[in-house]
Amino acid sequence: MTATATLAPSPVMPTVDFERDGVQHGFLRLPYSRDDSAWGSVMTPITVVRNGSGPTALLTGANHGDEYEGAVALFDLARSLTADRVAGRVIIVPAMNYPAFQAGTRTSPIDRGNLNRSFPGRPDGTVTQKIADYFNRVLLPMADLVMDIHSGGKTLDFVPFAAAHILPDKDQEARCFAAVAAFAAPYSMRMLEIDAVGMYDTAAEEQGKIFVTTELGGGGTGRAETIAIAKRGVRNVLRHAGILADGQAVEKAPGRWLDMPSADCFRFAEDSGLIEACVDLGQPVRAGDLLARIHPIGRTGLAPAEYRAALDGILAARHFPGLVKAGDCIAVVGTVED
């Protein structure tokens, strides 16, 4: 018997029927007893749009609660998508980590859980672990295509890109990158994760799914430009998969492919202080170029620490707040593919 088979059933109770045709708006109800509600629940909004047999897309936003492009795009899609435009099934969860989304924080205010580091989860764990377990054991197995829309939240800012990962299964990898290309963001990334343990991405990929993620701006807000990229990209990928049958072609956009070939892409602060950006997002850099300075703030008269690029490429991401702590990621350089 496998470890999965010995787990208790998920305590999450959906108010929608995943096998019913039509459009349903409901909730994933997770019991959560607390001081202000003895028999309370976490009520995560969900929409299911189904029309006969066909592939299933699972679309999620706000895996981190301070990232808004995905939530805006998916609340809009949930409101506007009709069953007659669908061939198969679309499952939409605009705010995957709903407690964090309500609080506007990266992690859950209930248990400080980072949902995107909590997989595979557990049905008898914390609230965040229970959410992860439901996605891992119930929703992911239903899906053929999984799209999780991220941005930089309050602490990072990115050039807008869609991404997938290098995978051992090259056929699966090719299908993932074909979906990334269909998203048609200004940039497409072959992505390297700092820490892939416990990620939703990894859980989906290990189940053999086509998985697409994004980083669309940041700073704890959503800009008109990046929200428009998210809205267009979601529909593009659904068309590419043959699930959105609206008679429209995939909307192409000129874009560039970026790569993260090694850990040399990342620069981490070894000092705390006031950060001075020396390169703006999207600008070209060469190995040795100055990316940022960190000024000491305890007293005047001290020289700043300098941080330089280790690779040629463009500045793909940067630290967003003006103050930085030792250990923070302050810059990411993506190499440009010809």
Q: What is the pLDDT of residues 286-313, one digit of tens each?
A: 999 999 999 999 999 999 999 999 999 9
Q: Which amino acid is at 145?
A: L
CA dihedral 27, 33, 34, 38 (to 10 degrees): 100
- pLDDT, residue 247, reads 85
| Chain centroid offset of residue 178 CA | 18
- pLDDT, residue 252, reads 77
Residues of the chain with CATH 3.40.630.10: 2-258
Domain 260-336 has CATH 2.40.50.100: yes
The arithmetic mean of pLDDT across residues 160-169, rounded, is 95
- Whether pLDDT at 93 is above 70: yes
Going by C-alpha positions, the residue among 109, 95, 113 that lies closest to residue 44 is: 95
Share of the chain above pLDDT 90, in %: 92
With H, G, I as helix, E, B as strand and everything else as coil, classify residue 149. Answer: strand
- Looking at domain 2-258, its CATH superfamily turns out to be Zn peptidases (3.40.630.10)
**CA dihedral sign, ordered 170, 171, 176, 182:** positive
Alpha carbons 111 and 212: distance in angstroms, whole number: 28
Going by C-alpha positions, the residue among 57, 63, 102 that lies closest to residue 77 is: 57
- pLDDT, residue 5, reads 59
pTM above the 0.85 mark?
A: yes
Bridge partners, residue 331, by sequence: 267, 318
Q: Describe the crossing of helices 224-240 and 69-80 by its angle, rounded to 10 degrees.
A: 50
Share of the chain above pLDDT 70, in %: 99
- pLDDT, residue 118, reads 97
Residues of the chain with CATH 2.40.50.100: 260-336
With H, G, I as helix, E, B as strand and everything else as coil, classify residue 78. Answer: helix
End-to-end CA distance of the chain: 49
Alpha carbons 329 and 188: distance in angstroms, whole number: 21
- Whether pLDDT at 1 is above 50: no
- pLDDT, residue 137, reads 98
